[in-house]
Structure 1
Amino acid sequence: MHSTALTVFFSMLFNLAQATIVKGRITNEQQIPLPYATIFIKGTTTGTTSNAAGQYQLDIPAGTYTLVCQYMGYRKLEKQVIITNTEQTLDFALQPVSMQIKEVVVKSGGEDPAYAIIRAAIKKRNFYRHQVNEYTCNDYIKGMFKLRDVPEKFFGKKLDKKDMGVDSSGQGVVFLSESMTRVDFQEPDNVKVEVLSARQSGGGFGFSFPAFIDLYDNNVTAVITQFNKRGYISPIAENALLYYKYQLEGTFQDDGKTVNKIKVMPRRKFEPLFSGYIFITDDDWRIHSADLLLTQDYQLEIMDTLRIRQIHVPVNNEVWRTKDQVITMSIKQFGFDMVGNFVNVYSNYDLHPNFQKKHFDNTIMRYDTAFDKKLLAYWDSIRPVPLEKEEVKDFRVKDSTAQAERDSARSSRTLDTLRKHQHPVKFTDFFWSGAKHNYYFQRDTGIYSHQLSMKGLIKQLGYNTVEGLVLNVEPELKLNLSRSQELKIMPYIRYGFSNTHLNAWTYLQWTQESRIHNRIGQNTWILGGGKRVSQFNHDNPISPLENEFYTLFLKENYMKLYENYFTTLQFTRRFENNSFLRLGVRYEDRMPLENTTDFVFFKNSNKQFLPNHPYELADIPFTRNQALVAELGFSFQPGQKFIELPDRKIAFGSKYPIFGVTYTKGIHGIAGSDADFDKWQFQIKDNMNLKLFGEFMYRVKLGGFLNDKHVDIPDYQHFNGNQTFYNINYLNSFQLAPYYRYSTTAPFYATANVEHHFNGLLTNKIPLLNRLKWNLVAGSNAFYVNQNNNYVEVFAGLENIFKLLRVDVIAGYQSKDATRIGVRVGFGGLFGGMVRQQNTPEP
């Protein structure tokens, strides 16, 4: 350790009890505040950062120190200070650096001297990327978002500005948090974060994960991958010269080092690139600081702008690390105007921590048991960045309001208020929007509620050729039980006006949080029974709405149904590591159904409705039968990482695929069951982010029947076909295949669904598509049973259309039919990718 650092270290150790605050204001010569300037004790990384108003404060033990103030584009200023037990004020007025243009020999072709500097920095990039094998440091993180404007309505619904935490003009802080963490790192990619303290205004965990933005990486992740899954190309990446132009703005001296200010300019729009400035030191060619900007012209999503500012300082004579990092962002979408920032102040670097052998495990983030119990005096003593006036007010007001709500949560007055101000149920709600009523009650730990709800009757109307017009009545009672338990009672009443069949059944779902060997998981029990209507394929490959459209408008009845009296019992255990165990048994007394109506909106004598029996399986009879079926399934993802809270762990994800295995048994003879079969299935699936090269997704299944002595159509292996224009069940369907043509009881089958999302890799070079940010997606779906029963389709399409839609063109090669070409529309892209298939398998 450097001698100066040792002196400071021992001074701080022996004078800890006499720490005194030094505070002040950092401005330029015109007294204009310099936000987020860096202040630190010379010879150490102990320091702070000024806030947006240029104010700083620093807790320093008694002694004599030299404080260094540094701001990008200004000359570094040092001041000596003698610390006693009296609070001191020390202001800094910084002067702009005196930029000088180097005398250089201009090469033929007029190459700017910045290119030679960048080439030298690129050669040293990998060395600095791996220079430090391991280290620890402290990181103070402050995050804040505030709204500057809010629309009066959003999607036709009037917004309550008070509930949003803003004033009548639509302005106010909507998120504010701060935390102090300890970061442990070890090559190549081991990270562990210890959250020592954290708070969020109004309560909550806040944001405590350090935003590591390493410009020595070839591919830079800017905060989170959702802003751009491809990442961004660093200005000193191995191939950076292909993407950037550079210009040397000048040089200046800093502690005897020559620092080059280089302007970074993207060569082309619509590539994932930065613009701005990077400062590189002469001779050792390391990053001194950076001020870089991302915009929507360079594949930034969601936000309009994101600016990254970093200051690097020496930890010792050889190593520099990031001292301060400020990320500012702005968003203007749908009438909302929001700005925010995240300030990271790194300090107390230790480059020789000597970690124990098993220090790095599957826990990447751990919250101290008292992380949220710190008093205001604690925060005032450790906070390196002074809060701004609006932040002080936001913490005070929202924390006081939250405390008052907690204090009153047990009062009868609060209970009466909740009951009184509940939105009244209108008669019209039962027909369209749905009705909901909460029943509030009190326990020792606070106020809770049961909820009774029902979906709107008009929205629950359906139509099919078997039942005709269908009325579904779906109430639900949700009971909040003690000890993290919930009971749902879900009755269903269904009446078909054409076949005059009344079906009624009920599910009871009990969910309980439980511990096994001090590991928290969730148990879910489902008990159901009654008389219902089911699709032959229990994966429900076509939704009622799709079927209604095709039936009424196009005279094509794809949904195939049967009736059944049933009883089911299912148990699911979600383990702490996100593994799932599923056990279930189901008994069905199955009855065939026939078409009873041929009503359509548009008459078409050239078309006839198909029978309700799957026409592809016309040679396989379906008569009344009974089936007792048991199922055992397990899925897991090895290598899970965890966030550890004081009372539980939360699975964070893994770089490995998800594996699953299922065994299904048709039990013969019990309760008259005709079923007699054994079926197995193994699957593996994964999403692989290849950064600049896009995202690759796949799902592979293997399975078959070990025994098929008696298998009725509902128990066949069905492949999820799709004969409509709409598809959303990607990676689990075949976009042009008929629904039941390839159903089988073969001893072996294999399926593969793969798709690659280019995320702008190719379309960013195509005019108009690059401006619209419509991205290419391509892939293939296939299954194989035998030489006479196989199918493969290839597709290519565009996604992120209006951030929501996806359109594919597919060619399907079918062993039992001619080649087909088709188009499918679904959801895909920034927001569309969040939409999931709603047609879930029946319990």
Structure 2
Amino acid sequence: MLTPIVHAQTSGVRGAVKNSKGERLPFAAIQVKGTTIGTLANEEARYEISLPPGSYELQFQFLGHKTTLQRVEIKADFQTLDMTLEEVAFNLAEVKVGQGSEDPAYTIMRKAISMARFHQLEVDTWSARTYVKGTFRITDVPFLGKSLLKKANLAVGTTYVLESINELSFRQPNTVKEKVISVRSNLPPGAQPSINFARFSFYSPRFGDLISPLSPQAFSYYRFEYQGNYEEHGKTINKIRVRPRSRGQYVFDGTLNIVDGTWSLHSLAFAFVDENGFNYNIRQLMTPVQDVWMPVSSEVNVRISYLGAKGEGRYVTSVRNYQVKVNPKYHQVPDLVDEKVSKADAQALRGQKLDPKLGVAKKEVTRKQFKKMVRELEKEDIKELKKKGEDVAVVRDFSYEIDSLARIRPAEFWSGERQVPLTELEVSGYRQADSLYKANEAKIRRDSLKNTPKFRFPHLLTGHTYNYGKRTGLEWYPRTLTFESPLIGVTKLDFFNSVEGYLLKSKLEYFQRITRFSRWNVGVDARYSFARERLNGGFNAGYNNPQTSVALNAGRNVFQFNSANPISEGYNTLYSLLTEQNYLKLYEKSFLSLNLRHRLNDKFTLSAGASFEQRYRLQNNVTKGWRDVAEREFSSNDPYNLELSPNPLDPVPGTIFPTHNATILVGALTYRPFAKAARYNGERFTINNNSPGFTLRNRSGFGGSRFNQLEFSVTDEAQVGKGTLRYLARAGTFYGVSPRYLMDFKHFNGNQTFFQSEGLENFRLLDYYTYSTANRYAQAHADYAFRRFLLTQILALQLTGLKENVFVNSLFTKNTNLFEVGYGFSGILKTFGLEVVTTFQDGRYRQIGFRVRTPL
């Protein structure tokens, strides 16, 4: 697919594109009729096409303006051709609508939505050459961010440019291959960036997290308004205004132009806001290629404002050299009848049976009949793929390659290939970045010498990540060494508890990446307790790929009784030092463990683990914190549990245990019935989106701690209505022999602090160990996140990223029936949130509480 390098053409056409008011039309599309050659105007509305001498007809397109043809004679040099495009005069009078007062936009949209999947399947294969340009400029940074910019050799106000010439091919149903032929940028040396062609389609129901106006759900999210039509080369183009029913995130606001009869997309212009409050504007223009409307240009603009940092970016693509092979089964135009408008025609067609083999070209068919036929055609496609031996479980197959010469193509190559001329600001950006790099050339050369980062004394205090080898795009380095300084725990408030007193922790770990999705690692960690005057630590090694992961761990260290670690060590430090409340309860163990996870196929995953442990009881070694609170002292490190200590006043807690050995074996099987697979450069991985997970798990103890535990759980996340529902239900029992020691009980993630961490199965007002059990149990959790609810009715709040949710948690054990219901919102300073929750126990109101959501 590699196109030979050619010298730049010395002839062609260049100029500017404006409207009748003299206003520039940035990113107007220019095509050479009868060829696959095309380009875009830049932000300044200037364009340039290199062409050999001859006679050509140029087609100029811009959203909301008449497509204009202009013949030009190219001689031995560049000709100047400035074009003026007239605004489209939309005709509102010629549209025929059915009885009633419904806006005609709705019948147009119903037909376009019905045809959306058909248009996705219309092209069997296509290939093209693309020019992709991304630019960004940092306009402001807070004081603390300036040193980071300097370290990265970036400057405020400089325009950074990344250009790429890519060759792209597609084959139904989902195979995409992209090859970077050449890439050029003014990003700092060593970044080795590349940029992909954005393969988004508004025919898909979703555009990332956003609902497409052509989604079957679109009428629940959008209002549509007909704004007229116009003629373009014998085609009638309908203009539709798209407005969200409720403004905010995950919806578009703008206009769609739809080709009458085929109900294809002609062009669009939308704005939207993402969950971070960033503002986007997107434009896309299509042109017919073998009677199929294909995208020839796209433009995305974004403005960013986040915690004092501000910036702006632009992403532009131009496509040419389309080679298209249509699928005759889908390359036809039915005469769609809208049942809601043409009721009599729909009644006359009732009972009509369609033969998918005969097609529907120019045939009257209701939307319902057409939808059913498309489903039948897709079923036939799947059968054909299976006969060919293709893996129909793979829903996305993407291959990405960077040519070995991509970063060293000469200037002559770029002069001929650049489809969107650089603006003066972008040219200036290249110069400014080059000057910055030259000013720091000596330092950059030292830092990149042999591409080996060196140790510096401050790293002992701050920690550091050392990256080795050539970075792959903006993604990853082949080898990484991470060092976590003992002082990092201080910044995380993780430096004190009543058992160890003050403590320091450190970690050193090496990662070797094999492919994008597979790597192995080896590391050591250390933990020193000043009160115990003891150094603990461990060793770990592991290997991970999409199919299999193996982890080996050994050492001696302290652990929470609940291995899910529900108690934040940072918050425990605050509570212990300032309020004399030591919620963290620890025991010590020497251990050797091996854990394995293996995907048997896309739907079944097997997990197994074995752990050999010697466990030791620990007691408090510190009696108070910084602040002495009257009538309060540190509680025992032996947690209170209702099953082991029925009498809370018993002076000898039932959770006291002797030093003992234990062998723990765990096995689990997870089933995800609707899981799919994807491939990246031939490496297969599973996609669990929109599939519930069912897990059967058994845990058994031998030696000094004998027990058997069987557990079943189901969890899922799904779009329900206009929000997202997450839920988890779990039930289990101990059989044969019940455990004697608290660490082997079934625990539930409680919380007794004012702070609440994220996690679906976290209770808000439950004691940490009181209701841990060695008997039967069941728990259920549900969380519904609203797109719009109470506070988010206020658009200004919604656009800050504020999110609201309601949640329910329930627990059923031998000793309690507990039910929590609450409301919360998050997104304060992009990080924090507030919750209010009420608890009912054994059918009676118990308490109400408030929590602050935090990332810890």
Into which bin does the TM-score normalised by the smaller protein fall? 0.7 to 0.9
2:326 partner letter: L
List aligned pairs for 1:353-364, cutoff 5 A. Answer: 357=385, 358=390, 361-362=393-394, 364=396
**How far apart, in 1, do the equivalents of 2:77 and 2:468 lie?**
52
Alignment of 1:565-580 (within 5 A): 565-572=589-596
AA paired with 1:547?
N
How far apart are residue 332 of structure 1 and its match?
3.2
Distance 2:391 2:12 in 1: 37
User: What secondary structure sits across from 2:108 in the alignment?
Assistant: helix
Asked whether the 8 Å contact 1:23–1:55 carries over to 2, the reply is no
Instruction: Flag the 1:344–1:764 CA change in 2: closer, same or farther, 3 A.
Output: farther
Alignment of 1:197 with 2:180, yes or no, is: yes
Shift of 1:434: 4.0
Secondary structure at 2:570 match in 1: helix
CA contact (8 A) 2:211 2:250 kept: yes
* 1:215-614 correspondence runs (5 A): 221=207, 224-225=208-209, 231=211, 239=219, 243-244=222-223, 246=225, 248=227, 252-259=230-237, 261=239, 269-270=247-248, 273-280=251-258, 287-294=265-272, 296=273, 300-302=274-276, 304-316=278-290, 319-333=292-306, 334-343=308-317, 345=319, 347-352=322-327, 357=385, 358=390, 361-362=393-394, 364-367=396-399, 371=403, 373-374=405-406, 376=409, 384-386=419-421, 414=449, 419=454, 423-425=456-458, 434=462, 453-456=484-487, 462-466=495-499, 470-478=501-509, 486-496=521-531, 501-512=532-543, 523-529=550-556, 532-562=557-587, 564-572=588-596, 581-591=607-617, 593=619, 597-598=623-624, 601-605=627-631, 607=632, 610-614=635-639
Q: SS of the residue aligned with 2:42? A: coil
> Quick one: structure 1 residues 166 and 197, their matched pair in 2 at CA, closer, same or farther if it must change by over 3 Å?
same
Question: What CA distance in whole angstroms lies between the structure 2 residues aligned with 1:613 and 1:236?
Answer: 57
Q: The residue matched to 1:493 in structure 2 has which SS?
A: strand
Task: Decide whether aligned partners of structure 1 residues 684 and 437 sit closer, same or farther in structure 2, where only a CA change above 3 A counts.
Answer: closer
Residues 142, 344 of structure 1: 8 Å contact kept? yes
Following the alignment from structure 2 to structure 1, what is the Cα–Cα distance between the partners of residues 243 and 395? 40
CA contact (8 A) 2:668 2:698 kept: no
CA distance in 2 between partners of 1:439 and 1:262 (Å):
51
Which blocks of at least 5 consecutive residues in structure 1 are unaligned? Answer: 1-12, 669-673, 828-834, 838-843
Assess if the C-alpha contact under 8 Å between 2:12 and 2:53 holds in 1: no
CA contact (8 A) 1:324 1:345 kept: yes
Quick check: 1:725 aligned with 2:744?
Answer: no
Amino acid at match of 1:326: E
Specify whether residues 324 and 595 from structure 1 end up closer, same or farther in structure 2 by C-alpha distance, changes over 3 A only. same
Shift of 1:816: 9.9
Residues 716 and 259 of structure 1, relative CA distance in 2, 3 Å threshold: closer
- How far apart are 1:41 and its partner, in Å? 4.6
Secondary structure class of the residue paired with 2:637? coil
Letter in 2 for 1:820: Q
Which residue is 1:644 aligned to?
680
CA distance in 2, matches of 1:239, 1:604: 62
State how far apart, in whole Å, the 2-side matches of 1:131 and 1:44 are.
27
Instruction: Please give the secondary structure, in 2, of the residue aligned with 1:622.
Output: coil
* Alignment match, 2:14: 24
Is residue 77–residue 92 contact of structure 1 (8 Å, CA) maintained in 2?
A: no
How many angstroms apart in 2 are the aligned matches of 1:812 and 1:263?
48
Could you report, residue by residue, the CA deviation over 1:574-604 in whole angstroms, capped at 9, with x for unpaired residues? Answer: 7799968452313123225367625572433
- The percent identity for this pair of structures is 21
Deviation of 1:757 (Å): 0.8
2:126 is matched with 137
Q: Distance in 2 between matches of 1:237 and 1:438?
A: 48
Task: Answer yes or no: is 1:627 the counterpart of 2:661.
Answer: yes
Counterpart selection for 1:797 from 824, 829, 834: 824
User: Which 10-residue stretch deviates more, 57-66 or 274-283?
Assistant: 57-66
Deviation, structure 1 residue 630: 2.4
Q: Tell me whether 1:734 sits opposite 2:767 in the alignment.
A: no
Given that 1:583 and 1:632 are in contact with CA atoms closer than 8 Å, whether structure 2 keeps it comes out as yes
Q: Quick one: structure 1 residues 698 and 152, their matched pair in 2 at CA, closer, same or farther if it must change by over 3 Å? A: closer
Contact 1:235 1:244 (C-alpha < 8 Å) held by counterparts: no
1:779 paired with 2:807, answer yes
Q: CA deviation at 1:708?
A: 1.9
- Give the letter for the 1:799 counterpart: S
Aligned positions of 1:662-701 closer than 5 A: 662-668=697-703, 674-690=704-720, 693-701=722-730
CA distance in 2 between counterparts of 1:439 and 1:47 reads 42
Decide whether the 8 Å contact of 2:9 with 2:416 is kept in 1. Answer: no
Number of the residue aligned with 2:772: 743
What is aligned with 1:824? 851
Shift of 1:166: 3.6
What's the CA shift for 1:677?
A: 1.4
Query: Tell me, what secondary structure is at the counterpart of 2:118?
Result: coil
- RMSD of aligned residue pairs (Cα, Å): 4.9
Task: Please point out which of 745, 749, 752 is paired with 2:780.
Answer: 752
Once the two structures are superposed, residues 502-543 of structure 1 have per-residue CA deviations (whole angstroms, 9 ceiling, x without a partner) of: 3322211224568xxxx88654322213xx433322222212
Separation (CA, whole Å) in 2 of partners of 1:766 and 1:448: 48
Per the normalisation by structure 1, the TM-score is 0.75
Distance 1:92 1:284, change over 3 A: farther
- For structure 2, the 5+ residue unaligned runs are 330-380, 471-476, 647-653
Q: 1:151 to 1:555 in 2, by over 3 A?
A: closer
Residues 644 and 273 from structure 1, CA distance in 2 versus in 1: closer, same or farther, beyond 3 angstroms?
A: closer
Which residue of the partner structure matches residue 34 of structure 1? 25
Kept in 2: contact 1:251–1:260 (CA 8 A) = yes
> Does the aligned pair in 2 maintain the 1:580–1:634 contact within 8 Å?
yes
- C-alpha distance in 1 between matches for 2:831 and 2:571: 19
Deviation at 1:69, TM superposition (A): 1.9
What secondary structure sits across from 1:455 in the alignment?
A: coil
Matching residue of 1:4: none
Mapping 1:117-136, distance limit 5 Å: 117-132=104-119, 133-135=121-123, 136=125
Which position in structure 1 is the counterpart of 2:194? 206
Shift of residue 409 of structure 1?
11
Residue 48 of structure 2 corresponds to residue 70 of structure 1? no
- Would the alpha carbon gap of residues 623 and 152 (structure 1) be closer, same or farther in structure 2, given more than 3 Å must change? closer
1:97 correspondence with 2:87 = yes
Q: Number of aligned residue pairs: give it.
A: 753
Shift of 1:181: 2.0
State the partner residue of 1:840: none
Partner of 2:359: none
CA–CA separation in structure 1 for the residues paired with 2:490 and 2:250: 47
CA–CA separation in structure 2 for the residues paired with 1:521 and 1:558: 37
Distance between the aligned counterparts of 2:801 and 2:576, measured in 1?
36
Whole-angstrom distance in 2 between the partners of 1:149 and 1:511:
43
What SS does the aligned partner of 2:761 have? coil
Q: Which amino acid aligns with 2:592?
A: T
